[in-house]
Amino acid sequence: MSTKKVKDEQLSVTITGDIIVEVMRLNGILNAMADNLVSDLGLTSARCKVLGAIENEEPLTVAQIARNMGLKRQSVQRISNELQSEGLIISMDNPNHKKAKLLKLSSEGKRLLHEEVRPRWLKKVYHAEKSNDKNNLKITSETLTKMREFFELIEQ
């Protein structure tokens, strides 16, 4: 392998590594920000992830939510039990599985997300978007999606 090719590969790995580190840092910041935004509502960032995972989709199982949101299945089970006892989500029989119930938002869960959580979050997102170039944001979003899809593929 030529020295130039090795250096190009090292640079590429370094750039990808830098992106991964920044995504991890951003994830930590976003989790802390979400915790602060919704703590007065009795929510956490993890609870919001579970609620958000079933907001626009067909009902999902705990395992599907965990996979989609990058959470541990046991954590999602615990959180979904709590959210269900608080009346924010409901479970339904799953025609494809006897034990794995399907989860969806209750009307109170929808109200909480749409009237309380979403406006707070959108205010923060709006300011972040205004301080960045839209074209760069679009490229970043596409790149992160491709990276996520790649890592999902190799993890299977």
Q: In this predicted model, what pLDDT tens digit does every residue of 68-114 receive, in sequence order? A: 888 899 999 999 999 999 999 999 988 888 888 999 999 999 999 99
Nearest alpha carbon to residue 62 among 88, 81, 34, 40: 81
- Residue range 3-155, CATH number: 1.10.10.10
Q: In this predicted model, what pLDDT tens digit does every residue of 131-156 receive, in sequence order? A: 999 999 999 999 999 999 998 898 87
**How high is the pLDDT of residue 61?**
93
pTM of the predicted structure, to 2 decimals: 0.80
**How high is the pLDDT of residue 12?**
64
Domain residue limits, the chain: 3-155
Distance of CA 120 to the CA centre of its chain: 17
**How high is the pLDDT of residue 7?**
61
Beta strand 89-94 with 97-105 is antiparallel
Report the alpha-carbon distance of residue 99 to residue 86 in Å, rounded.
22
Max CA separation in the chain (angstroms)? 62
Model confidence at 3: pLDDT above 70: no
**How high is the pLDDT of residue 97?**
84
Model confidence at 10: pLDDT above 70: no
Average pLDDT, the chain: 90
